[in-house]
Amino acid sequence: MNSRNILSVLMIALGLTLAGCGESQGPAEEAGEKIDESMESTTEKLKEAGEEMGDAMEEAGDKVEEATEN
């Protein structure tokens, strides 16, 4: 093969490779996205729960302080 034929074969192979990189996702990529979304949702819910617990503990501490002052 001469260099022109080799270059042609490489260009065709590159074109086919890039054509396979479309926007469509396979099942593993879709599952990965769902896992990421679940993790983000869970993290946000845990943050909210932690903030609520902190607020409740602060309120309880205030009530104990008020009760011991009287």
Q: How does residue 26 score in pLDDT terms, banded at 50, 70 and 90?
A: confident
**Does residue 8 form part of some domain?**
no
In this predicted structure, the answer to whether residue 35 has a pLDDT above a threshold of 80 is yes
In this predicted structure, the answer to whether residue 22 has a pLDDT above a threshold of 70 is no
pTM of the model as a whole: 0.54
What is the distance between the alpha carbons of residues 20 and 18, in angstroms, rounded to a whole number?
A: 5
| pLDDT for the residue numbered 19 | 65
Residue 61 belongs to domain spanning: 42-70
C-alpha separations of 68 from 29, 55, 61 in Å: 58, 20, 11
In this predicted structure, the answer to whether residue 17 has a pLDDT above a threshold of 80 is no
**Does residue 23 form part of some domain?**
no
**Does residue 67 form part of some domain?**
yes
What is the distance between the alpha carbons of residues 13 and 4, in angstroms, rounded to a whole number?
A: 14
Helix or strand run (H / E) with residue 42: helix 27-69
What is the distance between the alpha carbons of residues 51 and 44, in angstroms, rounded to a whole number?
A: 11
**Does residue 48 form part of some domain?**
yes
Give how many domains the chain has, as a whole number. 1
Q: How does residue 1 score in pLDDT terms, banded at 50, 70 and 90?
A: low
